[in-house]
Amino acid sequence: MKTTPYFILTLLTFTMLAFLPNSFAQDDTSEYVVRVIYFYPNDIEPQESVPATLSSLVKDVQKFFADEMERHGFDRKTFKLETDENDQLIVQQVIGKFDNTHYYTHYYGDPSRYGAAETEINDKIDRSKNVIYLSWIDLYNPNTVEFQISGIGSGSSSKGRVLLRSTNFDFANIERIPQNHYIRAWTVIFHELGHAFGLNHDFRNDVYIMSYGAAPDQLSYCAAKWLRTHRYFNTNETAINDNTMIKMLTPEVNSTQISIRLKFEIADPDGLHHAMLITQAAQGLIDCKELSGYSSTVEFVTTNITADSTVVSLGVMDSHGNFKTGKFSVSISSFLASKVVPIPDANLAKAVHEALALTPTTSITQLDMLKLTTLKRSEKQEHEIFLNTR
């Protein structure tokens, strides 16, 4: 069973956001750099070309963020890497306490997924600093020569982390790395850093780096707009961060257009910049809105709803590059109750009405249909249909 996806689902992003508090002025240590860690098991030699290869990869990603910002009409901004006085990438090496087999085994099926290596890397993290830690866990798979890579990423507006786990990646010299391996590594780094910067999945287009497309190579306009004021893209920004208020107003259903209108009241004394709506049904971004001023009401209209209750999140970026996410539960029973389901078959319609104890002239709605559990057609008499409810 060999099913390593390029990207491990990063639903973790949201849960992490909930636990990482906003940084306030008095706590700010103003680093805002991406620090690179190279982790390897204690029974294998570290690969010599690691610093050069990692440097090439992350600097390519760094440049690509700038290119994409420019393509969207913004200033060429990107994140900073931790480098020495000669502008060489600093790669902190971490030798694992255990051997390859240990880390290899404590990954698949491990509830924390990055298992033992993650625990040891967490010990190296200085939580008092505003740093995004990007760690490459270098393992080999004894069962195949195939190169595989996956990653997770999460972050608040001040801190973040990315864990990459590769098997059989030959750091060698840049020229010797197969191009598809290099591109795959580059894509995963780009995607997971996106999560570390607070970006969510965006499946609206397969070319977006935050999608699961086959060869994604674009930052969406929503993402670029988000990063425009992000602290990691504006390291000279002052550390102002007053609290953002996000409140959801009662959703409104438009039954003729079969859509739901979500409204949010937002306020921030630092000034508002951008808002992104994420829904559970879309498993990612629905849309984004440009904000201005210090308080605003934003509206989103969506038809992307599949259950009678759902969770929606609104990410709000302020003018000083700090963001906050508000998470809300939306009950859409009334919405589904407004969606009439036409049932042309008279016998089926009769059976549904009877099962739901509705009078024959009452419209059947999507909410009614959710109450039905099983359908059984009588073998002897074709017009006889039995329906159960829950």
Question: By the criterion CB under 5 A, which residues form the site for Zn ion?
Answer: 7, 10
Least separation in angstroms between residue 10's CB and Zn ion is 4
Say if strands 385-389 and 372-377 run parallel, antiparallel, or are unpaired. antiparallel
H helices of 171-283, where? 179-196, 221-228
Say if strands 80-81 and 33-40 run parallel, antiparallel, or are unpaired. parallel
- Select from 111, 66, 48 the least CA-distant residue to 224: 66
Least separation in angstroms between residue 191's CB and Zn ion is 6
Q: Looking at beta carbons only, is 115 or 194 nearer to Zn ion?
A: 194
Q: Looking at beta carbons only, is 10 or 157 nearer to Zn ion?
A: 10
Least separation in angstroms between residue 29's CB and Zn ion is 28
Q: Looking at beta carbons only, is 212 or 221 nearer to Zn ion?
A: 212
State the Cα–Cα distance between residues 156 and 158, nearest whole angstrom: 5
Least separation in angstroms between residue 331's CB and Zn ion is 28
* 3-class DSSP assignment, residue 220: coil
Q: Looking at beta carbons only, is 7 or 32 nearer to Zn ion?
A: 7
Least separation in angstroms between residue 312's CB and Zn ion is 19
Structure tokens at 197: 């910067």
Q: Looking at beta carbons only, is 211 or 365 nearer to Zn ion?
A: 211
Q: Looking at beta carbons only, is 115 or 284 nearer to Zn ion?
A: 284
Least separation in angstroms between residue 160's CB and Zn ion is 13
Q: Supply the angle between the helices 179-196 and 50-71 in degrees, to the nearest 10.
A: 60
Least separation in angstroms between residue 188's CB and Zn ion is 9
Q: Looking at beta carbons only, is 7 or 38 nearer to Zn ion?
A: 7
State the Cα–Cα distance between residues 362 and 345, nearest whole angstrom: 15
Least separation in angstroms between residue 274's CB and Zn ion is 20
Residues 6+ apart with CB under 8 A from 325: 14, 17, 198, 246, 313, 314, 315, 316
Residue nearest Zn ion, CB atom distance: 10
Q: Looking at beta carbons only, is 7 or 197 nearer to Zn ion?
A: 7
Contacts 24+ apart (CB under 8 A), 325-333: 325/14, 325/17, 325/198, 325/246, 326/246, 326/247, 326/248, 326/264, 327/14, 327/18, 328/248, 330/248, 330/251, 330/260, 330/262, 332/251, 332/253, 332/260, 332/305, 332/307, 332/308, 333/308, 333/309, 333/367
- Select from 220, 242, 217 the least CA-distant residue to 319: 242
Q: Looking at beta carbons only, is 10 or 319 nearer to Zn ion?
A: 10
Least separation in angstroms between residue 175's CB and Zn ion is 30
DSSP 286-329: EEEEE--SSEEEEEEEE----SSEEEEEEEEEETTS-EEEEEEE
